[in-house]
Structure 1
């Protein structure tokens, strides 16, 4: 149960198989193993001891995978940096877990000196690029060339593998400690539940600092499949890469999937190789998903539900429910059933399991559940109380064990004494033909305590009025759930993982209030 095991296996059994593709670079597993073992030696030469943290600030690439595997091979712990963060936020995460080595690619060189000069301990900066390293930085490629390969440290099991900082949507980000066992077992349980297809070629689109993409990476390493990378999400780049590299599998967050199927050039590309699409990380509006199923009839769709603290697997809704039958019986809207090896319950505020069909909080236990939050024993104890990870997600479970996520508990709106789940309202709003994207929040109301408010992005060239959006919702959900007000914007604020930052949407309405509920 160590995360370099898949690389060892491929070096032994099929070393000349294709391992990575990024732009013009292609490496076999033999070449990947050589680069990883040399990078591990370089990191050790820079002072990395077993358990030391190494960070990387960069877009998706083959070198990002090398960083992960090389750090683990050398006995270190990865700290992938959120690419959407400002310099102070990045410095906070480096200081918090004492990260002394930071790899930076060309895209983030303007931030490098600001990070290094304001950190408590100036990290060693490594330039991850093809050109000459800037002054004060070491060259990634030079380090690999000049250092001899070293033996794998073979850290595994409960040894710390990564510190994944939460998005910081509320308060300071927390460092989620994931062990080798956490990440390995999450991948194995996902593969056991839905095995990869033969000759799988995986495209990594979601940001690699995020646990959803990391889970896909680890699973592909375990399986020994080729990895294809695009730096970041761009609709045309993704479509071109699928066509050129004959990609079979990918993971997208809903905002990416929506942008892809709505692009006017979508139908121009040959996507015949494409066989499986996993989506997750945030809710998806039903009209978007149903349209995607229409446009990609030969593709298996799967919904993955999880969180950073569970590395991330919890449940999965497979291809069988992404069908006309699944739409008709409602299972399309499910988050699926818990994966093998993972125990899930839905509980009330006293941690008592609630009857099937009753909304409560999802709690999880299994070998995939985090070790805890870095240097936060009280918050760790609260999250893992009773031996169960408390997710903060509100959901109900049906008689067949299917989970239906209704909302984040903190996103629930209490209006006139009724509980309204924003995800349900968002699905109704998204069904309006002029709506491209939306988010629903609670805002202060003297009459209702909180009022349901929708923030809407319209499709290019489309028009809609507040009254029309509200009336559309009345045709699909109860009146008390419908927005009391609507504002229009050109774009929703997104985290690096593509999640809507509802904190930013709420802030103008609640900034003068003593608390964020009314």
Structure 2
């Protein structure tokens, strides 16, 4: 790129990262709970050394680097090293199943997989049997892989230099589920990555001093909080995962000013018998999103925590922020306002459209559709699904909402059958396939039922084979083994038949209504 072309060039995540690690280097940047604080200088040097270690292990620009780990500083170090080196990060969800991780490994053609030996040594050993040629790098001593930490420690830290950026170049594959089969990868480009940070910096309500507690997965939403924290001169206190008591202890001890939670985490904190024992008064902002929150419980939370709640609404195809509801917009006397996902941010064009792509009138339901730099480029190797998601020059969210006179959006339904439970996406078809693999199951259907704790509870209706009497706990255990704990049904109901539409398809709308009316014989675990 010559001087003239650089004159008006924007900065992307790699440049923002390098700039952020060039000042105030003696301040604490990361502090793993129970571990030693890491300064900005030390983090910068770790990024350099781990970046060199990845290259020494065979990574080149465009190489796909997988990460499978609980929350620990190395996850952020590798994420940053991939940005500086021009690798494509492919995070695996720590709560995912072995089948899901194997699919991601093969679908993304991951070349190097860095894994946490404390949690995933056996998992990595099983994945090493894949036909995909992949080198396994352990974040510590482990027989299942080469020790990336030792290799990184052997490198001499060098100045970080951000690469020249093509805004259409991929920097991340983010896997999401699909109602028709295996998870698919959303190709995140540098243009999208820049928009994520820009919107967060401009539209989110950050405390004047950012001391952020991280208990969401750093492989996913937790990592999106890193660059804004860095650029605002803040620090991140890291928990390995979510535990209500440890969260409250950390807030009190570290005087946490902000934290990102999903609704089920908020419920777990409020409902914990020790909630009143801790001083949580340092909290200025609780960022929440990823799934809907019950208005009654949000009102209760505001009463217990104070007016500190800030909602963000987005999806993996338009990451983190399509709309926001600011702290002072949470009107506890207005249940419809508390059921809202806020108003669109000014960096995007957001419209509620009907099936003909015409905007619906105020108060009428329409699909949330989005245009702008935040929107994904495509799904990896899935042109038909890409065309469907981006039909007519809009990203189709699949969420049906109404807009009130003040511009607030309220999601009333989803076009697809995706279940959001505890802030995680569950796709019924995958659960149904796992259940149907049991020899005593003739057919089944899985839906989400409103639940005070989970937002939606994964609920299954099973039709047994003639003469068979499957056990609910056994079926739940089967799904837990095949798909992981998040996908496992909270409740199993048994029936002699499933309701069908006139076209012979399972009528899930009617099924949900009948379940809500307790029309089924209950068999829960």
2:239 to 230, 238, 249: 230
Going from structure 1 to structure 2, the CA distance change for 1:306 and 1:437 (only over 3 Å counts) comes to closer
Aligned partners of 2:53 and 2:148 also within 8 Å: no
Note if 1:43 corresponds to 2:54: yes
Note if 1:387 corresponds to 2:377: no
Map of 1:261 onto structure 2: 270
- CA distance, structure 2, for counterparts of residue 339 and residue 319 of structure 1: 15
- CA distance, structure 2, for counterparts of residue 355 and residue 19 of structure 1: 48
Aligned partners of 1:302 and 1:319 also within 8 Å: yes
Map of 1:402 onto structure 2: 408
Displacement of 1:272 after TM fit? Answer: 2.0
Map of 1:280 onto structure 2: 289
- CA distance, structure 1, for counterparts of residue 490 and residue 179 of structure 2: 8
Going from structure 1 to structure 2, the CA distance change for 1:292 and 1:255 (only over 3 Å counts) comes to same
Q: How does 1:197-346 map to 2 (within 5 A)?
A: 197-210=207-220, 212-297=221-306, 299-324=307-332, 327-328=333-334, 330-346=336-352
1:171 to 176, 181, 200: 181
| TM-score (normalizing by structure 1) | 0.79
- CA distance, structure 2, for counterparts of residue 403 and residue 494 of structure 1: 38
Displacement of 1:497 after TM fit? Answer: 12
More divergent stretch after superposition (267-276 vs 252-261):
267-276
Aligned partners of 2:205 and 2:310 also within 8 Å: no
Q: RMSD of aligned C-alpha atoms? A: 3.2
Which runs of no fewer than 5 residues in structure 2 stay unpaired? Answer: 1-10, 420-446, 464-475, 509-525
Map of 1:354 onto structure 2: 360
- CA distance, structure 1, for counterparts of residue 124 and residue 418 of structure 2: 39
Aligned partners of 2:97 and 2:484 also within 8 Å: no
Which runs of no fewer than 5 residues in structure 1 stay unpaired? Answer: 414-421, 446-488
Aligned partners of 1:55 and 1:101 also within 8 Å: yes
Note if 1:101 corresponds to 2:112: yes
Map of 1:456 onto structure 2: none
2:377 to 371, 392, 417: 371
Displacement of 1:124 after TM fit? Answer: 1.1
| TM-score (normalizing by structure 2) | 0.78
- CA distance, structure 2, for counterparts of residue 511 and residue 34 of structure 1: 59
Aligned partners of 1:170 and 1:503 also within 8 Å: no
Aligned length: 450
Question: Deviations for 1:101-135, whole angstroms, at most 9, x for unmatched residues?
Answer: 00110111111111011x22232111113xxx223
Note if 1:74 corresponds to 2:85: yes
Note if 1:63 corresponds to 2:71: no
Aligned partners of 1:192 and 1:340 also within 8 Å: no
- CA distance, structure 1, for counterparts of residue 338 and residue 481 of structure 2: 25
Question: Deviations for 1:253-277, whole angstroms, at most 9, x for unmatched residues?
Answer: 1111101110000111121211110
Question: Deviations for 1:25-81, whole angstroms, at most 9, x for unmatched residues?
Answer: 211111111100111111111111111110111111211111100111111011010
Map of 1:21 onto structure 2: 31
1:515 to 505, 510, 520: 505
- CA distance, structure 2, for counterparts of residue 174 and residue 164 of structure 1: 8
Displacement of 1:238 after TM fit? Answer: 0.8
- CA distance, structure 2, for counterparts of residue 401 and residue 155 of structure 1: 40
- CA distance, structure 2, for counterparts of residue 497 and residue 302 of structure 1: 30
Q: How does 1:452-467 map to 2 (within 5 A)?
A: none
Going from structure 1 to structure 2, the CA distance change for 1:57 and 1:511 (only over 3 Å counts) comes to farther
Map of 1:182 onto structure 2: 192
Going from structure 1 to structure 2, the CA distance change for 1:122 and 1:329 (only over 3 Å counts) comes to closer
